[in-house]
Amino acid sequence: MTQATTIIPDECIVVNRFLTGPEADRLFDGIRAKARWKKQVIRIFGKEYVSPRLVAWHGDGNAVYPYSGTTHFPKPWFAEIQEIREKAEAFIDTAFNSVLLNLYRNGNDSMGRHCDDEKELGAEPTIASVSLGAKRRFVLHPVNPAGRRGIHIDLGHGSLLIMKGKSQQNWKHSVPRTTLPVGQRINLTYRNITGRDPAHS
Ligand X SMILES: O=C(O)CCC(=O)C(=O)O
Residues near Mn ion (CB under 5 A): 116
Instruction: Answer with the entry of Mn ion, ligand X, none that 187 interacts with (C-beta below 5 to 8 A by kind).
Output: ligand X
- By CB under 6 A, name the one of 25, 60, 83, 116 that touches ligand X: 116
- The C-alpha atoms of residue 198 and residue 190 are separated, in whole angstroms, by 21
Contact pattern for ligand X over residues 118 through 157, marking x by CB under 6 A: -----------x--------x----------------x--
Degrees, nearest 5: CA angle 142-147-149: 45
In the complex with Mn ion, the residue whose CB is nearer, 115 or 184, is: 115
Q: Which residues of 28-41 are buried (b: 16+ CB within 10 A; e: fewer)?
A: bebbbeebebeebe
Contacts to ligand X from residues 76-105, by CB under 6 A: 100, 102
Q: How far is the CB of 20 from Mn ion (least distance, A)?
A: 26
In the complex with Mn ion, the residue whose CB is nearer, 116 or 120, is: 116
Q: Is 189 in the site for ligand X (CB under 6 A)?
A: yes
Residue nearest to Mn ion (CB): 116
- Ranges of H-type helices in the chain: 21-34, 79-92, 167-170
Concatenating the DSSP letter of every residue in 67-117 gives: ETTEEEPPBPP-HHHHHHHHHHHHHHT----EEEEEEE-STT--EEEE---
Size of the residue set binding ligand X (CB under 6 A):
11
Q: How far is the CB of 42 from ligand X (least distance, A)?
A: 12
Q: How far is the CB of 200 from ligand X (least distance, A)?
A: 27
Q: Which of 154, 159, 187 is nearest to 19 (CA)?
A: 159
- The C-alpha atoms of residue 83 and residue 102 are separated, in whole angstroms, by 18
Which residues are near ligand X by CB under 6 A?
100, 102, 111, 116, 129, 138, 155, 173, 175, 187, 189
